[in-house]
């Protein structure tokens, strides 16, 4: 029996929605510019992909996607032409290992060069500053974008209070949230606010816990 091609397309789309294959859609890429060698000129334009970030971080997760998308909406304000100068950007991140890895990789910020530091006292996910003109923005996630249960279970996971099966449930919840982030445009989930006359004043702290390896031996 012949099946109408339009019906086949409809069934295929239905399967995508039902089984979550939409997660395979690529996250947005970010164009950056760097020097062309160790003592070089600012001419090397590159396209940073989400998969590049995953390799640096170690795995794909909702926090890494949040970080990349939050950075993209903030950096778009500082670099309207879309090309981020990683030699001209500094950033403050909250202490999540996912957020900090995204911050370092996309902005080029480094602790030893006074272009990156970590604190949980900022009222947002990131504070980003363009060095040459001191223009500064704070980026935050909109309310009710992330399911509350993820943070509730996440805190229990950090305290090693979840069983192996509960950790698997948490992963499924995070994967569902990641699919939502993939479907939405970043501007729908994150806000950018300018901080006029912001003074860069690093706070040095090396006592944070790398929370994404706490349960690495859980069974």
> Which residue stretches of 58-96 are H helix?
62-78
User: Rounded to two decimals, what is the model's pTM?
Assistant: 0.83
How many helices (H) and strands (E) the chain has is answered by 7, 8
- Parse the chain into domains and list their residue ranges: 28-142+186-202
Fold for 28-142+186-202, please state it: 60s Ribosomal Protein L30; Chain: A; (3.30.1330)
Which stretches of the chain drop beneath a pLDDT of 70?
1-27
Beta-strand relationship, 30-35 and 136-141: unpaired
pLDDT for the residue numbered 84: 97
pLDDT for the residue numbered 204: 81
What is the distance in angstroms between the CA of the first residue and the CA of the last residue of the chain? 49
The predicted-structure confidence for 159-182, as pLDDT tens digits, reads as follows 999 999 999 999 999 999 999 999
pLDDT for the residue numbered 27: 57
The predicted-structure confidence for 80-97, as pLDDT tens digits, reads as follows 999 999 999 999 999 999
Angstrom distance (rounded) from CA 46 to CA 84? 10
């Amino acid at each position: 029996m012949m099946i109408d091609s339009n019906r086949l397309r409809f069934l295929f789309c239905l399967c995508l929605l039902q089984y979550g294959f939409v997660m395979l859609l690529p996250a947005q890429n970010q164009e950056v510019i760097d020097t062309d060698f160790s003592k070089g000129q600012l001419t090397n334009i590159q396209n940073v992909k989400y998969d590049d970030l995953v390799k640096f971080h170690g795995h794909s997760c909702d926090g890494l996607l949040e970080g990349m998308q939050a950075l993209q909406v903030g950096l778009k304000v500082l670099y309207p032409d879309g090309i981020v100068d990683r030699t001209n950007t500094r950033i403050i991140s909250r202490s999540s290992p996912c957020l900090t890895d995204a911050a370092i990789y996309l902005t080029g910020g480094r602790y030893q060069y006074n272009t990156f530091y970590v604190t949980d006292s900022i009222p947002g996910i990131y504070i980003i500053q363009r060095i040459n003109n001191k223009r500064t923005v704070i980026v935050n996630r909109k309310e009710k974008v992330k399911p509350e249960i993820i943070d509730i279970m996440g805190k229990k996971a950090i305290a090693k209070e979840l069983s192996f099966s509960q950790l698997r449930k948490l992963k499924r919840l995070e994967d569902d949230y990641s699919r939502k982030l993939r479907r939405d445009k970043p501007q729908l989930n994150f806000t950018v606010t300018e901080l006029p006359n912001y003074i860069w004043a690093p706070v040095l702290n090396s006592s944070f816990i790398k929370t994404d390896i706490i349960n690495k031996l859980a069974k």
